[in-house]
Amino acid sequence: MEMNSDLFYNLAERVDDFLDDIKIEICANLRNTNEKYADMHNETIKLQEEYPIIPEFIQGVYKCEYNLSVEERAALFRCLMLITDMEYIESKHIYIRGYMDCISYLKQIGTI
C-alpha cells in the first residue's frame, strides 16, 4: 500500500496552526464567559497602555539601558503575574478541550 505523501506534507505546520486557532478560540471564549479572566485581560491592556515599556519587555525589544522607576517595575511585575495567571486558566481550558475532543472522537469511532 502506497502512502500519499501529501497527507503528511507540512503536518507539523498544520498542527501548529490548528493549535493556535484553538488557543485563540479559547481565549476569546474566556474573555466573554469568565469574569475573572476578562478582568485580568483588561488590566493587562490598561497596564500596557499606561506603561509602554511593558509591551517592549514582553515582545523582547526592551533595551537594558532603560532605568525603570519603582512604579514601572511594579506595573511590569503586576502585568507579568496577570499574564501567568491567565495562562494557567487557559492551560486548564485547553486540557479540558482536549479531553472533550478525545471523548467525542472515541464515541465517533464506536470505542465508547
Residue 104: per-residue pLDDT = 92
Q: How confident is the model at residue 1 (pLDDT cuts 50, 70, 90)?
A: very low
Name every residue whose Cβ is closer than 8 Å to that of residue 17 and which is 6 or more positions away in sequence.
none
* pLDDT per position as a tens digit, 50-78: 999 899 888 887 666 668 899 999 999 99
Pair 58, 86: CB distance under 8 Å:
no
* pLDDT per position as a tens digit, 98-109: 899 899 989 999
Question: Residue 106: enclosing H or E segment and its boundaries?
Answer: helix 70-108
pTM over 0.85: no
d(CA 58, CA 86): 15
When the pLDDT of each residue in the chain is averaged and rounded to a whole number, the result is 88
